[in-house]
Amino acid sequence: MTAVDDAANPGPPSQHSPLRRTRLQQIAPLLITLACLLASAWAVRDLGLTTDEPRYIDNSQRIHAWFGDLFAHGPSAAFEEKRLAEGWYYARQESKNLPLVSLIGSLGHFTLGFFDSPPHSYRWGNLVILAVTCGVVFSWVRDELSSPAAVVAVAALIGMPRLWAHALLMSIDPLVASFQVLACWALWKSRQDDQLQTGFSNWRWPVAFGLLAGVGAMAKPTFWLIVPAWVVWGVLTGPRRHWRTATCLLTVAPLAALLLMPPWWSNPIGGFLGYIDLLLNDPVGWKIDVYYLGHVFQAELVPGTRPVPVPWHSVPLLTSITTPPWILVLVVMEVAGWSLSLLAARLARRAGRGRATPGRPGMALEGLWLIAAAVLPLVVMLPGTPAHDGTRLYRPAFYFAAFLAAGGFERLRLRWIGDNRPRISWIATSSLIVLAVGTNATIHPAGLSYYNSLVGGFTEATQPVALGHSLPEPRRPLHEVSYWWELFNRERSRDAGAPSTGARLTFFPRTLREADAQGLGASP
């Protein structure tokens, strides 16, 4: 056993995970899931059609028509090359997305969305995935830390307005985040079952991990970036304990991903390599203008000139000003505590001249949360990496930040409250719940425009200041208002149809035109 493996040993099961749970404790994850589903179903009604949703809905309708042909005319007609390309409009120059968002949206549309109308009916799939994620987050943290920490994890998850509002939309990045969380959960369960189970039951969680990883891989290429992180974590925490999960990652995951992409069935390797070539050699795709600190980056402002990349510090800066401060504090506490614990374990091993020394229970688990949270922000910070749309591209980091916040809370709870004063623990937990709900309620439905008190909130963050003449307007805000157009809902649309005398109306015509074409009722 290596030094790192000793330091990262998860130790015995948590004392907060009793072998016998009450009925309420058993159904608590389900109650959390249902509560999150109801809350999201209420909140989503206030969000208008956003920039990318018309395209996703159009692609969903193409799939519906393709399945109609499959059942009406049989496989020979549906799998004809031209018809397959029309029905599965993905991984191409005009639509670089992968099909998961449309498949999830379609499932929601034909189940819970059956009782709703577009565009909200297509959002139900994402709402269900969000609710399931909340239930898994609660269950996982409760089993490994404590019930109060589990509640704090869910409060942190729904208490980040940008995360919450983004997850309500028919959008890809929340699916990337949720399936990364679910796959990490299955990965951890696989590690535990390797110690506790024997025979065929040892394969349950590795297979589940492979399925979740494969499905998540068809959300977006950013999902793939967590795979090296899993490999590093597995090597550092004992590779012999993860051979089953590694096997399923190499076999089950590719098959699950391929199942969701019929155009690649006839030539899986060629289809995948062609998609990679498209991503790497697209001359236009990454020249997306970025507004950061009052200036425009990453855009070809003058034809033929090389776009200026977004500075690396956009990631830590935007993260620090778009996350509620109490979550930032708890995350810092957890990262600092985990780092010091790892350092102490290494020093103890060195002092013991190679003798095994027990690490802090949970080191491997917290390391998994930390590496999963760090991988995408670190990639986006690399020179030349696309960094458009604020924090959207590394949204999964904020999901794992909820776990880290729970870990930070648990450290403080054990240090200052302990297990003998549960009432005080629940008072502290309830206070954070109120804070999380209040933060979202006060800014709803403008969650995607949230800025915290470190920059004076939304008002100060978007206050025009003198910035010189690098752009036509010398006075402009340092930070941008939402670019999603989610606030242009039906109510605002009616207001726009009857503007006040002398008022000027500015809107994004493509979104309205596509909405009208699909009968989504977004324009006045």
DSSP for 166-193?
HHTSS-SHHHHHHHHHHHHHHHHHHHHH
pLDDT of residue 503: 66
The answer to whether residue 161 scores a pLDDT higher than 60 is yes
Lowest-confidence segment of 196-205, 402-411, 509-518 by average pLDDT: 509-518
d(CA 121, CA 125): 8
Q: What is the pLDDT of residues 165-182, one digit of tens each?
A: 999 999 999 999 999 999
Q: Which two tokens stand for residue 213?
A: 């990883």
The answer to whether residue 259 scores a pLDDT higher than 80 is yes
d(CA 178, CA 133): 6
Q: Which two tokens stand for residue 444?
A: 């709803």
d(CA 301, CA 293): 17
Q: Rounded to the nearest 5 degrees, what angle is found at the Cα of 357, between the Cα atoms of 351 and 363?
A: 115
Winning range, highest mean pLDDT, from 113-122, 187-196, 398-407: 398-407
Q: What does 249-300 look like in DSSP terms, one character per residue?
A: HHTHHHHHHHHT-GGGTT-HHHHHHHHHHHHHH-SSTT---EEETTEEESS-
Higher pLDDT, 490 or 132: 132
d(CA 356, CA 220): 42
d(CA 71, CA 381): 47
Selection from 88, 164, 165, 174 nearest residue 125 by Cα: 174
Selection from 157, 223, 193 nearest residue 393 by Cα: 223
Phi, psi of 110 (to 5 degrees): -95, 0
Residues in contact with 363: Cβ distance below 8 Å, sequence separation at least 6, in sequence order: 7, 8, 9, 10, 11, 338, 341, 342, 345
- Confidence grade of residue 131 (pLDDT, cut at 50, 70, 90): very high
Residue 147: C-alpha distances to residues 16, 428, 480, 500, 512 (Å): 7, 13, 38, 53, 46
Q: What is the pLDDT of residues 280-292, one digit of tens each?
A: 887 665 678 888 9
Higher pLDDT, 52 or 178: 178
The answer to whether residue 6 scores a pLDDT higher than 70 is no
pLDDT (average), residues 84-98: 90
Residue 517: C-alpha distances to residues 84, 215, 310, 375 (Å): 23, 31, 35, 39
